[in-house]
Amino acid sequence: MDILSIIMIAIGLAMDCLAVSVTKGLQQSRWCASALLMAVLFGAFQGGMPLIGYYAGTLFADFFSRFAPYIALVLL
């Protein structure tokens, strides 16, 4: 996967979670600011997680590629 695909997945996850958290925040709270804060934090974390995973994967790819057959053996 290239970085553009990862960014597009991250944006899709962020928009989905933004809608869910806005709805949940408006349902539980009468204050619009707390609902918006919940939505922004939820969306930011869901958008950032695929990017963190991508960069962590590229960082440790050489290490895990040496042990990939043994990891597959244990998992399967």
The whole-number pLDDT of residue 29 equals 58
The whole-number pLDDT of residue 46 equals 77
**What is the C-alpha separation between 23 and 35, in angstroms, rounded?**
8
Instruction: Please determine, for residue 1, whether its predicted confidence score (pLDDT) is greater than 80.
Output: no
DSSP code at position 30: S
**What is the C-alpha separation between 57 and 35, in angstroms, rounded?**
33
3-state DSSP call for residue 58?
Answer: helix
pLDDT in tens, 42-59: 778 877 888 898 898 889
The whole-number pLDDT of residue 51 equals 85
Query: Please, which residues have CB within 8 angstroms of residue 15's CB and are 6 or more apart in sequence?
Result: 43
DSSP code at position 38: H
pLDDT in tens, 12-39: 877 877 777 777 777 775 666 777 777 7
Q: Where are the beta strands (DSSP E) in the chain?
A: none
Q: Between 76 and 28, whose confidence is greater?
A: 76
